[in-house]
Every structure is written in C-alpha cells, then in structure tokens.
Copies of this chain bind each other. A is one copy, B any other.
C-alpha cells in the first residue's frame, strides 16, 4: 500500500469513468450515486428483473447491497449476479444488517453462494454473522470491533475464494491469507447514514479499473478513510460531514494522499 498505487487507481477511475451498476437500498441510493459521481465514475441504479441482465451487460462492475431487501429485489440481484459472472465483471456485495434477522442471514448466504462476489464488505458484526449465524447485529450497526471479526473474515475469504473487507475504526482487508490494515477515517463517519454503503459502492469503481482486486480493495478503503479524515476536519457535525465528504472526494489529490500517509507514520 503506497500513495502512488492509490493515486493511479484513482486516476484510472477519473479517466475511464466506469459504469457501476448498483442494486442497492433506498436509504443510501442518493449518497452512493453522488459518491460515485464525485470520484469520477458513472453510477446507474436499476433493479427491474426485465432489465438487469442488459444493464450488467454494459457495466464494468456490479454492486449488490441488501440494506432494504425484499423478495423481488433479491431475485434481481441474483439474475444480475449470474450475468456479471458470465461477463467476468467483478461483484461487490454488502450484507447490510446480516445477523439482525434470520431472513437477512438466509439471503446473504443465498447471494454469496449464487453470485460468488469478488468482494464482500461489511462491519464486524455483519462479517461475523455470515460465518456464525448465531451472531447478533444491532440493526445495521456493529457491536464488536473489526479486529474481533478478523478470523471470521479470513475463514469467509478462504471458503468463498474472495476478498473480505471489515470496515470500522480500523479496516481490515483479507483474501484469506494476506491481511492489510487501513487505519484512516474519523468517528464522525459513523454518524452519517450510508457511509459503509458508500465504501461498498466506491469499491465498485476501484475494482472496475484495477485487475488486482486485493489492491483495488485496499486502495478503495484508503481513499474512503482519507476522504473521511479530510471532511471531518472541516465538518461541524454529521450534516456538514456528508457535504464535505463529497467535496473532498471530488478534489482528492495525490498530495493529500501522501500527507495522510505521513501523518500516520
């Protein structure tokens, strides 16, 4: 992980403006569409069973998010996921609220087993719930630290041959063997709805423009964290945080990325 590598991935997004197809939840659609636009990608939200195959057919990545799931949307996610597999475009899956209800656990398992996502991103409670379905989540918020979910993440990554991202105060990215730790970010991010979902959506843009998916995941979470730090330095609360996040993401420069790394070390 170094600033150069991250900047190159960011530049590739801005240059190629990849079409990222999102089947996501009602709460965050506006946020994630705006974050994808701010980073330079081209978002599209479409969920009708009649058209998701066609939409995946022109997309460079597929983002599936089960935040406000329902039966029909789940079927659309699976149709879209199978088409993404056919086209070999990457899928990023966000198991929002896994552990909160039996239905969420069932659907998360079904999506993972059917669609084989390249990346699964969740908070610690959600990742643990995917492995141990007795694990409880408080709605959509985590009740455990990311560190405590690391074993579950590794197990999940090995089982499904994918990359698992646990996001929180410290993020962990693992492919089952390697583990990368990203410690950027600010606690104000937890006070804005859909920040986790935004991370997932942005990962869609990173994997759409970087064949090294592990690197793309690390880059994406680093950009998310650094942007969160820059925005929180300007924010007076969660309302202005949301605004500054988009402004900072739009303007994020190589120098800012380098400076963030210097501050950490």
Binding site for B on A (CB under 8 A): 19, 21, 25-31, 33-34, 37-38, 42-48, 50-51, 54-55, 58-59, 67-72, 97, 100-104, 136, 138-141, 190-194, 235-240, 242-251
Contact = CB atoms under 8 A, between A and B. Distances in A.
A102 B54 contact: yes
A244 B241 CA distance: 11
B238 A34 contact: yes
Contact of A139 (B28, B55, B240): B55
Contacts of A37: 190-193, 238
A247 B243 contact: no
Q: Say how many copies of this protein the assembly contains.
A: 3
B243 A240 contact: yes
A138 B60 CA distance: 11
B243 A48 contact: no
A70 B47 contact: yes
Nearest to A57: B101
Contacts of A248: 237
Given A30-B28, A70-B48, A43 B101 contact: no
Given A192-B34, A237-B247, A103 B68 contact: no
Contacts of A26: 26, 29, 45
B44 A139 contact: yes
29 contacts: A25-B45, A26-B29, A26-B45, A29-B68, A30-B193, A33-B193, A37-B191, A37-B238, A38-B237, A38-B238, A42-B139, A44-B97, A44-B100, A46-B101, A47-B70, A48-B69, A48-B70, A48-B71, A48-B103, A50-B71, A51-B102, A54-B102, A54-B103, A58-B138, A237-B247, A237-B251, A238-B247, A242-B243, A242-B246
A158 to B, nearest CB: 29
Of the candidates A19, A21, A29, the one having the most CB atoms from chain B within 10 angstroms of its own CB is A29
Given A242-B34, A242-B239, A55 B101 contact: yes
Which 5 pairs of residues, A with B, have the shortest CB-CB distance?
A: A237-B247, A239-B246, A44-B139, A54-B101, A51-B103
